[in-house]
């Protein structure tokens, strides 16, 4: 994968480094001779520093070259970058870098080839038996050349400070169970039904013409004359029928709450015993592992 410019990888890198910016620092060779300035930084896909882009304006006007991070010593207190073992001959042999170009594997190999031919004494031993021809774009690893990309342990010593934090997680468990069923209850119901019954009422009355003589021809005595009247009555018809009374729906709802907890946590702090030696402590650099 091609290298990236630092600002393309992390547009807010200045905030990440809390104001420390390697860009613009002067670059010096042995003997405190200024050879140029840092114009940019190239990082890999993980954000690790791999090269400083150095403008060699004090040695070769208008030429920019790549300086492997393992060949540098950065002094933020003096605003300087020291190019370990850099010579004018080496600078002349390095391929020129342009801001418009892409630093791919082939270009890097040309750069690394120049530095391999002029090894310098470094914290990491140089493997003089390494077969660089066996490297290819698929298997190359920067860690295989610590003399170019490794940090100088003599000048850069690191150890980790640990701290404890409260981590809030949630565990889900069965708190209970609700069973919803049906049962049958009985009760005595009363209902009133009005009914009707017919009966015969016989009224015997004296007509107004009672005592009036009837002509013989008008009298017709008959025997067996009967008047029939049908009588009806109602009887109650009471039975039971089932009806839907209500509908019950069973569902779940979630009640939310916030639980607060506190505990005592520990954190390691740095104790510096200078033993009379002056020490300058730089501001915290959250990305110091990349340099």
Write out pLDDT tens, residues 66-87.
999 989 988 878 888 999 888 8
CA distances (Å), origin 84, targets 24, 100, 123, 147, 170:
18, 27, 11, 11, 54
Q: DSSP label at 267?
A: B
User: What band does 146 get if pLDDT is binned at 50, 70 and 90?
Assistant: confident
User: What band does 156 get if pLDDT is binned at 50, 70 and 90?
Assistant: very low
Q: Which pLDDT does position 155 carry in this prediction?
A: 44
Q: Which residue has the tokens 């650099």?
A: 285
Question: In b/e form, how buried is each residue of 29-64, taking b as 16+ CB within 10 angstroms?
Answer: beeeeebbbbbbbbbbeeeebbbbbbbbbebbeebb
User: What band does 122 get if pLDDT is binned at 50, 70 and 90?
Assistant: very low
Q: Which pLDDT does position 157 carry in this prediction?
A: 40
Average pLDDT, the chain: 80
Angle, alpha carbons 270-276-277 (nearest 5°): 75
Task: Tell me the pTM.
Answer: 0.51
Q: Assess whether pLDDT exceeds 90 at residue 34.
A: yes
Query: What percent of the chain lies above the pLDDT cut of 70?
Result: 80
Q: Assess whether pLDDT exceeds 50 at residue 15.
A: yes
Give the span between the Cα atoms of 189 and 2, in whole angstroms: 91
Q: Which residue has the tokens 């547009």?
A: 11
Give the span between the Cα atoms of 108 and 222, in whole angstroms: 149
Q: Which pLDDT does position 226 carry in this prediction?
A: 83
Give the span between the Cα atoms of 67 and 59, in whole angstroms: 15
Q: Which residue has the tokens 């060699």?
A: 56
Q: Assess whether pLDDT exceeds 80 at residue 188.
A: yes
Task: Compute the half-sphere exposure of residue 217: CA atoms within 13 Å on the CB side of its CA.
Answer: 0
Q: Assess whether pLDDT exceeds 50 at residue 160.
A: no
Q: Which pLDDT does position 123 carry in this prediction?
A: 40
Q: Assess whether pLDDT exceeds 60 at residue 121.
A: no
Answer whether 80's CB lies under 8 Å from 28's CB.
yes
Give the span between the Cα atoms of 79 and 35, in whole angstroms: 14
Run of H or E including 64: strand 64-68
What radius of gyration do the chain's Cα atoms show? 54
């Amino acid at each position: 994968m091609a290298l990236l410019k630092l600002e393309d990888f992390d547009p807010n890198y200045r905030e990440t480094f809390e104001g420390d910016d390697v860009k613009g620092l002067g670059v010096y060779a042995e003997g405190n001779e200024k050879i140029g300035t840092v114009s940019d930084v190239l990082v890999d896909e993980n954000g690790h520093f791999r090269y400083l882009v150095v403008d060699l304006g004090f040695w070769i006007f208008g030429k920019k070259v790549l300086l492997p991070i393992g060949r540098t010593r950065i002094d933020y207190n003096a605003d300087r970058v020291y190019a370990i073992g850099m010579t004018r001959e080496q600078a002349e042999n390095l391929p020129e870098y342009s801001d418009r170009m892409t630093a791919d594997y082939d270009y890097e190999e040309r750069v690394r080839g120049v530095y391999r031919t002029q090894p310098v004494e470094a914290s990491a031993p140089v493997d003089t038996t390494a077969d660089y021809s066996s490297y290819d774009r698929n298997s190359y690893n920067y860690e295989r050349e610590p003399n170019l990309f490794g940090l100088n342990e003599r000048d850069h010593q690191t150890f980790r400070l640990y701290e404890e934090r409260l981590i809030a997680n949630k565990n889900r468990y069965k708190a209970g169970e609700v069973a919803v069923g049906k049962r049958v209850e009985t009760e005595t119901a009363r209902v009133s039904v009005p009914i009707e019954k017919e009966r015969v009422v016989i009224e015997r009355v004296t007509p107004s013409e009672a005592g009036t003589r009837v002509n013989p021809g008008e009298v017709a005595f008959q025997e067996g004359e009967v008047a029939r009247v049908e009588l009806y009555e109602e009887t109650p018809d009471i039975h039971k029928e089932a009806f839907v009374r209500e509908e019950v729906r069973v569902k779940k709802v979630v009640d939310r709450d916030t639980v607060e907890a506190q505990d005592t946590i520990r954190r390691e702090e740095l104790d510096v015993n200078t033993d009379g030696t002056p020490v300058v402590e730089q501001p915290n650099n959250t990305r110091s592992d990349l340099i």
